Structure 1
Amino acid sequence: MNQRQVTAVLLARGTTTRSEPAISRSIWTWARLAGGAAILAVLVWRVGTGPLVDGLRLTTGWSLAAALAITSLTTLCCAWRWRIIAGRLGVEMPLRTAVAAYYRSQFLNATLPGGVIGDVHRAVRHGREVGDLGRSLRAVAWERASGFTVQIVLTVGVLFLLSWPAFVPPAAVTVVAGVALIAVLLYLKGRRLSSRIGRALTSDLRDAVLAPRVWPGILLASTVAVLGHAAVFLIAVRATGADVSPARLLPLALLVLTASAAPTNIAGWGPREGAAAWAFSSLGLGATLGVTVAVVYGMLALVATLPGAVVLLVARQTRQMPPNSESPGASQ
């Protein structure tokens, strides 16, 4: 459970004030945006605006169609993963509803700062529909956390299997640091949270994530989703005309995609381009090519989430339709 969820629970119980959490969230939000803006500023200063323009120019129709097709599969897998966990928490939904909601959250994540607003919206909306905001928030949090865990394991595993000595130490250090940070946060929060919430977290992990009938589905869905996103990245590389073997591109794709999950982006931009510039230059391919590929991938990913915009428009029109409470002849 992250800070946003903890704050929501505390607010619901009336055990905290409104001003202090609001100020903390505001500072954290601006800090994340500043981080993404700083990365983009450094990249423009080092490589210029050429890669950005080239990335937009090289986005072609066939690459957009391929990204749409692949993203439909990854979205289905992620929605299924969410549905599995939500069902184990007692807030189940139809798969069709989960897919539509996931498309909507991806579109919001790709167009709004921070990269997590869509997930918060997805959790809150589902919570209101089922009448249990707490479990819906937990379901989305566990769904994203489990998917990212599988992604990190796959990334490190591929780096070791392909013997990439230049990237294995940084990746290993990142994983160890991330695990240590999570452990510290859980320890600190565990001292502040009530025993009931602590038991809920333990129960969620045991019954909704690591249960024998659950984790294989989560692993399968997450693996397919990660490989699908990596395939879109490879399409972005091909769109630039770069002649790089898939054996070299797959680790690059996984590294960049893992780095792009950092919540310091501006509508998806920032960490992804910085990681691509570093990774490509480390292999002698040039930071310029890395930024260009990242821009192409960003455009492909954005277009691939457009079905989420359709879901938003349909939902808005449905809400605006007046209720038909009278029959056509009632007023005669």
Structure 2
Amino acid sequence: MSRPTWKALGAVTGAAILGAVLWQTGIDPVLTGLRSLDPVTLALGVALGVPTTVACAWRWHIVSRELGVRVDLGTAVASCYRAQFLNSTLPGGVLGDVHRGVRHGRDAGDTARGMRAVAWERLAGQVVQAVVAVLVLLLVPSPVRSTMPAVLGVLLVATLAAALLIWHVPSPEPPSLAGRMLMAIRDDVWRLVMVRHAWPGVVLASTVALGFYFATYLLAAHAVGVTASAFTLLPVVMLVLLAAGLPLNLAGWGPREGMAAWAFAAAGLGAEQGLATAVAFAAIVLVASLPGAVVLVVASARRRRVRPVPQAPGGPPLPVVQGGTHG
């Protein structure tokens, strides 16, 4: 499936889910979620976004180092802020991560490996989040607790099938595009699995990021007037955050709001409160990602400071520096 088709499918799917939720609840929960936000709540959201972003950047730093396309932590933090802003404003919810993978891959001299480093970093975060969510949903009373043993069985079978596909399906000779991708995945998995000293950092970074996302969701729930305890909300929020990670959305909207409405209703908290909380959470995350807009502006200004001039016959183009030295 081509990238434009995938983007269109994600936007349509997200819009359809969001439309179905609004058809059931009306527009009032959306307005409630937005009206509940005051400067103090938004400031707290921005503060919570800092350790969240640093944790994600640290995870990327670890994974990229082991794959041979190391990104410095400071650069990773700035790039993650930019990616979060783009993810929150563009269809699909992952285009910011695609952008940071391409940019870093070009800077490192290996675009494909740079993109794979971002993909593995994102996957590591999703795997840790899924493991935590399964444990929570198995141990804490929730609307889906009775179905979790079956879900766990399906996940284990799917994981085993994926491992067999990666390690035991032979690649064609000469390798096709799919074969080259399969060999690259094998090499990456081997590197990441064998370098055991990287595991604790990846797990810790993912857990920290998940914890602060949970805290941000609690902040949104408190803002809209949800009175349930953090223990009651824990399994509900885990379900919402899992849905939020799906790439089929409209700038992050769609599955997150649909799951929030259903999970809150199933927990006896009301679909309207679920949607209002999801809207408040989305707004808080967008405001917390605004430093990424600053990174975009600064990077764009730096690129404009050096521009090529028309090539003279027989000679290479020379850069024209505007306004000082390019940093």
TM-score (ref. length: structure 1)? 0.85
SS at match of 1:213: helix
SS at match of 2:197: coil
- The 1-side partners of 2:69 and 2:322 are apart by 34
In the TM superposition, what is the alpha-carbon distance from 1:27 to its structure 2 partner?
A: 3.2
Matched, 1:100 2:84: no
Alpha carbons 1:262, 1:271 under 8 Å: kept: yes
SS at match of 1:214: helix
| Alignment correspondent of 1:260 | 244
Taking a change above 3 Å as real, the CA distance of residues 183 and 120 of structure 1, as seen in their structure-2 partners, is farther
Taking a change above 3 Å as real, the CA distance of residues 172 and 321 of structure 1, as seen in their structure-2 partners, is farther
Q: How does 1:1-332 map to 2 (within 5 A)?
A: 22=2, 25-164=3-142, 166-171=143-148, 173=150, 177=154, 194=175, 197-209=181-193, 211-322=195-306
Identity %, equivalent residues: 44
Larger deviation: 314-323 or 234-243?
Answer: 314-323
SS at match of 2:196: coil
Q: Deviations over 1:278-311 (max 9, x none)?
A: 1000011110000000000000011010010000
- The 2-side partners of 1:140 and 1:178 are apart by 23
SS at match of 1:255: helix
In the TM superposition, what is the alpha-carbon distance from 1:86 to its structure 2 partner?
A: 0.4
Q: What's the C-alpha RMSD, in Å, of the aligned pairs?
A: 2.4
Taking a change above 3 Å as real, the CA distance of residues 69 and 209 of structure 1, as seen in their structure-2 partners, is farther
Residue type at the aligned position of 2:185: L
Q: Deviations over 1:179-236 (max 9, x none)?
A: 6566667777856674664343233223225621011000000000001000000000
In the TM superposition, what is the alpha-carbon distance from 1:255 to its structure 2 partner?
A: 1.2
Residue type at the aligned position of 1:69: A
Alpha carbons 2:88, 2:251 under 8 Å: kept: yes
Alpha carbons 1:63, 1:235 under 8 Å: kept: yes
- The 1-side partners of 2:323 and 2:50 are apart by 41
Q: Which runs of 5+ in 2 are unaligned?
A: 307-318
- The 2-side partners of 1:180 and 1:192 are apart by 23
Alpha carbons 2:64, 2:117 under 8 Å: kept: yes
- The 1-side partners of 2:163 and 2:118 are apart by 18
Alpha carbons 2:45, 2:284 under 8 Å: kept: yes
Residue type at the aligned position of 2:144: F
- The 2-side partners of 1:70 and 1:162 are apart by 25
Alpha carbons 1:84, 1:214 under 8 Å: kept: yes
Q: Deviations over 1:80-137 (max 9, x none)?
A: 1001010111111211001001111111001000011001100000011111112101
- The 1-side partners of 2:254 and 2:238 are apart by 16
| Alignment correspondent of 1:7 | none
Residue type at the aligned position of 2:89: T
| Alignment correspondent of 2:309 | none
Residue type at the aligned position of 2:135: G
- The 1-side partners of 2:249 and 2:152 are apart by 20
Q: Which runs of 5+ in 1 are unaligned?
A: 1-20
Larger deviation: 146-155 or 210-219?
Answer: 210-219
- The 1-side partners of 2:49 and 2:322 are apart by 43
Taking a change above 3 Å as real, the CA distance of residues 176 and 80 of structure 1, as seen in their structure-2 partners, is same
Residue type at the aligned position of 2:273: L
Larger deviation: 189-198 or 283-292?
Answer: 189-198
Taking a change above 3 Å as real, the CA distance of residues 219 and 310 of structure 1, as seen in their structure-2 partners, is same
- The 2-side partners of 1:285 and 1:160 are apart by 20
Q: Report how many residues are paired.
A: 305
